[in-house]
């Protein structure tokens, strides 16, 4: 039979170590975050020691790290190894990229789809990297408009494209579960750079791609 780990360390999302307390064999992930969650549970009138909640501080700490992992990622790092010379002049559109983010006002999720287009200027980017750049900025505390602008600006900066267009459509749970409680309203935001900003027909072509 294998011995209980005295102190084993496992990297999770490359950021924190999980350890096991030798005495209690309790998994500890990030003591400060877990203690904050325990206090929150007590404040709302719960018993953090009841069976269903005992591992909740650990789970919440891990979930928060994942949901905010964009702070430790860089669009430049993601894009720099995935840009290829290619004689393409026509618009490229990656649409319906699903994303999950959290509003900075209530720390509640907002989620939806991003549509990203660019006009290549002698080089193209690996398509998956477009979706990864959306996640770099979505996995932070955000407002939808800033998220949309950040995706557009990062792509514009690193692709040397003639233009970049981003449209995001999202449902905000802070407007659904609480507050004004509107279940069906969605928010559309856009950021147009370069040719998409300057040229109405380029913008119209992009809009026609994402509508169909
Ligand atoms: N522009 C923008 N507003 C957002 C976003 N996410 C949440 N909000 C809004 O931020 C505002 C915060 O307003 P406050 O009056 O400070 O907060 P509140 O009292 O909780 O507001 P209610 O939600 O109306 O109850 C609300 O109107 C939210 O709907 C976003 O991504 N973009």
Choosing from 21, 40, 67, the residue where a domain stops is 67
In the block, residue with structure tokens 């398509």: 127
Protein residue whose Cα sits closest to atom 16 of ligand 1? 105
Q: Are residues 129 and 41 in the same domain?
A: no
Residues 82 and 60 reside in one and the same domain: no
Whether 104 is a known active-site residue: answer yes
Query: pLDDT tens digits for the chain (212 residues)?
Result: 334 333 334 444 444 455 554 455 567 899 999 999 999 999 999 999 999 999 999 999 999 999 999 999 999 999 998 999 999 999 999 999 999 999 999 999 999 999 999 999 999 999 999 999 999 999 999 999 999 999 999 999 999 999 999 999 999 999 999 999 999 999 999 999 999 999 999 999 999 999 96
Catalogue the E-assigned strands of 54-200: 83-85, 92-103, 109-119, 123-125, 141-142, 163-172, 187-194
- Residue 138 and residue 35 share a domain: no
Taking the CA atoms of residue 20, residue 24, residue 28 and residue 31 in that order, the dihedral angle to the nearest 10 degrees is -130
Residue 15 lies in a domain: yes
**Residue 1 is assigned to a structural domain of this protein:** no
Catalytic residue flag (residue 51): no
State the pLDDT at residue 28. 85
Query: How far is Cα 9 from Cα 29, in angstroms, rounded to an integer?
Result: 10
Nearest to 118 by CA among 169, 167, 70, 188: 167
Whole-angstrom distance, CA of residue 171 vs CA of residue 122:
36
- Number of domains within the chain: 2
pLDDT at 34: 97
User: Which CATH number does the domain housing residue 14 bear?
Assistant: 1.10.286.10
Q: Are 131 and 151 part of one and the same domain?
A: yes
- DSSP-derived letter for residue 122 is S
Residues 63 and 93 in one domain: no
Q: Are residues 14 and 48 in the same domain?
A: yes
- Are 198 and 128 contained in the same domain? yes
Pocket test for ligand 1, best of 100, 102, 104, 105 (most atoms within 8 A of CB): 105
Q: How far is the CA of 105 from the centre of ligand 1 (A)?
A: 6
- Rounded CA Rg of the chain: 22
Structural domain includes residue 91: yes
- CATH code of residue 134: 3.30.1130.10
Q: Which residue has the tokens 């004004």?
A: 180
Nearest CA to ligand 1 atom 27: 175
Tell me: do 123 and 203 sit in the same domain.
yes
Residue 23 lies in a domain: yes
Residue 18: the pLDDT is: 55
Whether residues 61 and 151 fall in one domain: no
What's the confidence (pLDDT) of residue 189?
98
* 191/124 same-domain check: yes
Residue at token pair 């514009």: 156
* Ligand 1, residues at Cβ distance < 6 Å: 103, 105, 143-145, 172, 174-175, 179-180
Instruction: Consult the annotation and say whether 106 binds a ligand.
Output: yes
Whether the ipTM is more than 0.95: the answer is no
The yes-or-no answer on residue 158 being catalytic is no
Q: What pLDDT is attached to residue 1? A: 37
Asked if 61 and 87 sit in the same domain, the reply is no
Distance 175 CA to ligand 1 centre (A): 8
Domain holding 80, by residue range, is 75-211
Question: Do β-strands 141-142 and 27-28 pair in parallel, antiparallel, or remain unpaired?
Answer: unpaired
Q: What angle do CA 12, 82, 117 make, to 5 degrees?
A: 100
Q: Where are the beta strands (DSSP E) in 2-67?
A: 10-12, 16-20, 27-28
């Amino acid at each position: 039979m294998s011995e209980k780990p005295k102190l084993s360390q496992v990297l999770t999302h490359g950021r924190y170590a999980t350890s096991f307390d030798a005495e209690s064999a309790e998994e500890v992930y990030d003591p400060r975050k877990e203690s904050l969650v325990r206090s929150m549970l007590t404040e709302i009138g719960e018993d953090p020691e009841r069976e269903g909640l005992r591992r909740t501080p650990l789970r919440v700490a891990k979930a928060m790290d994942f949901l905010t992992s964009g702070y430790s990622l860089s669009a430049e790092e993601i894009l720099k190894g995935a840009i290829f010379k290619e004689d393409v002049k026509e618009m490229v559109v990656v649409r319906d990229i699903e994303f999950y983010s959290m509003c900075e006002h209530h720390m509640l999720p907002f989620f939806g789809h991003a549509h990203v287009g660019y006009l290549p200027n002698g080089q193209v980017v690996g398509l998956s990297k477009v979706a990864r750049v959306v996640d770099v900025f979505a996995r932070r505390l955000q407002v939808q408009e800033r998220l949309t602008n950040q995706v557009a600006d990062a792509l514009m900066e690193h692709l040397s494209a003639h233009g970049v267009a981003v449209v995001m459509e999202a449902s905000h749970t802070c407007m659904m579960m609480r507050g004004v409680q509107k279940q069906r309203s969605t928010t559309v935001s856009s950021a147009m750079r370069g040719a998409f900003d300057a040229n109405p027909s380029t913008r119209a072509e992009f809009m026609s791609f994402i509508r169909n």
